[in-house]
Amino acid sequence: MSNSKELLVLVEDEENLGEGLVFNFEAEGYDVRWFRDGISAMDFITQKHATIAAIVLDLMLPGIDGFEILQKTRQFAERVPIAALSAKSLDSDKISAFELGADDYVTKPFSLPELLMRLRVLIKKSMWYKNKPVQERIAAGQLFFIPERLILENTNGQTTRLSPTEGLLLQTFLDNENKIFTRADLLEKVWNQQKTLQTRTVDVFVGKLRKLIEPNPAKPTYLLSQRSIGYAYVTDEKLRHELEKGS
């Protein structure tokens, strides 16, 4: 059992499920705030986002649904980990949630031990950037990545914030220039071996990073793919030529 008192926001309108989750989250040591509708949840998140350790978010809610909460929350709270809960299991629904800013996607019905494990992983992952040197700037394409602040910065000082998952994925690539990672490698390193996640998850997040760091995301020059294998952050011209030739 964890002795921490991280603030956990649960947004779930199903009464029995919500009660069970609150009981188990509190047993794990979390300080839980439970909201049964999207409007009240959004009000709380807007006011308290700086103190929230993680959000567990049902996507089908009265008032404001989870997809809208994801979109609005990511406008001002990029660092808060969000695990989406949904009975929807289609890839299109998962991709929509990831593209709007979810860090994880848990399909109902789910295993409680697995959900608790995923939650611990998300919170741990959100802390990695705090151990980075202050104002460390790492070249990322034509931009600079500042891990401690989870931002990308251009030469004019304009910045774009990243979610913890986006930041950790980018850091993984930048720390291993010219190394080709399989999608399974990246699921292990960034998503902590969450084998229930599909490799399409990696593709979605790489696509989001390409939109940020590539001059032309449709024809990437840094985050390149090896067909049917995986991805690499490429600075070596020979490797770049080989991957572009094989794409």
Residue 109 lies in a domain: yes
User: Residue 20's pLDDT is what?
Assistant: 96
Residue 189 lies in a domain: yes
Domain count, the chain: 2
Give domain status of residue 168, yes or no: yes
Looking at the fold, whether 78 and 181 belong to one and the same domain comes out as no
Last residue of a domain, one of 81, 100, 126: 126
The confidence score (pLDDT) of residue 67 equals: 94
Question: Domain for residue 2, yes or no?
Answer: no
Residues 73, 142 within the same domain? no
Phi, psi of 243 (to 5 degrees): -70, -40
Confidence of residue 174 (pLDDT cuts 50, 70, 90): very high
* Domain CATH code at residue 107: 3.40.50.2300
Residue, of 164 and 51, whose pLDDT is higher:
51
In a shared domain, residues 113 and 151: no
How many Cα neighbours within 13 Å face the side chain of 141? Answer: 20
Task: Answer whether residue 145 shows pLDDT above 80.
Answer: yes
pLDDT at 3 over 60: no
Give the end-to-end CA distance of the chain in Å, rounded to a whole number. 48
One domain, residues 11 and 120? yes
Residue 161: other Cβ atoms inside 10 A: 16
Distance CA 19, CA 26 (A): 11
| One domain, residues 241 and 137 | yes
pLDDT at 1 over 50: no
Task: Let me know if residue 35 belongs to a domain.
Answer: yes
- 29 within domain boundaries: yes
Q: Do 138 and 167 belong to one domain?
A: yes
Task: Name the least confident of 26-35, 106-115, 133-142.
Answer: 133-142
Query: Tokens at residue 1, please?
Result: 């059992």
CA of residue 68 relative to chain centroid, distance: 16
Residue 1 in domain: no
pLDDT score recorded for residue 206: 95
Q: Does one domain contain both 100 and 206?
A: no
Provide the mean pLDDT of the chain: 89
Tokens of 78: 């990029």
Strand, helix or coil for residue 149 = helix
Are 154 and 60 members of one domain? no
Domain of 91 in residue numbering reads as 7-126
Distance CA 51, CA 46 (A): 11
DSSP 130: G
pLDDT band at 175 (very low <50, low <70, confident <90, very high): very high
User: Which among 95, 110, 120 is positioned nearest to 199, based on CA atoms?
Assistant: 95
Same domain, 196 and 211: yes
Spatial CA neighbour of 27 closest among 103, 119, 128: 119
**DSSP code, position 225:** E
- Same-domain status, 122 and 135: no
Dihedral over alpha carbons 212, 218, 223, 224 (to 10 degrees): 170
Last residue of a domain, one of 80, 110, 126: 126
CA nearest neighbour of 147 among 182, 120, 173, 181 = 173
Sheet of 52-58: strands edge to edge? 31-35, 7-11, 52-58, 82-86, 104-107
Residue 138 inside a domain? The answer is yes
Report the C-alpha gap between 217 and 211 in whole angstroms.
5
CATH code for the domain in which residue 136 is found:
1.10.10.10
The angle that helices 164-174 and 200-213 make with each other, rounded to 10 degrees, is 80
Q: What is the pTM of this model?
A: 0.77
68 vs 3, residue with greater confidence? 68
221 and 143 fall within a common domain = yes
Helical H runs in 82-197? Answer: 91-100, 112-126, 164-174, 183-191
Q: What is the model's pLDDT at position 212?
A: 93
Do 139 and 237 belong together in one domain?
yes
pLDDT for res 149: 83
> Which range (83-87, 125-129, 228-232) has the least confidence?
125-129
**Residue finishing a domain among 85, 107, 126:** 126
